[in-house]
Amino acid sequence: MEMKIKLSGIQEVKEFVTAAGKCDFDIDIFYNRVVIDAKSILGVLSMDLARVLTVRCYGVDEEFWKVLEKFAAQKAVA
């Protein structure tokens, strides 16, 4: 599953990374050719937060999906 999100500050990054860390599957966040582990707060903070970022999940978790929807920049793509 993929979703485009927009994180606008450190507090949102912290909430996103905390939710990702609770998942037992891999989650990547990327923009252009840069791919970062979504469970790494330093990695996510190193991304350009002014841009829309793409999150790719390799599993399903309802709680994490709710967090993704909160930060969604557009509808999800399966």
Answer whether residue 77 is part of any domain. no
H helices of the chain, in order, are 10-21, 41-45, 62-70
Rounded to two decimals, what is the model's pTM?
A: 0.88
Count of the separate structural domains present in the chain = 1
Answer whether residue 76 is part of any domain. no
Answer whether residue 75 shows pLDDT above 80: no
CATH of the domain at 64: 3.30.1340.10
The length of the chain is 78
Answer whether residue 78 is part of any domain. no
Answer whether residue 12 is part of any domain. yes
- Residue 10's domain comprises 2-70
Mean per-residue pLDDT for 35-50?
93
Long-range residue pairs from 65-69, CB within 8 A, at least 24 positions apart, any chain: 67/15, 67/16, 67/19, 68/3, 68/5, 69/3
Answer whether residue 75 is part of any domain. no
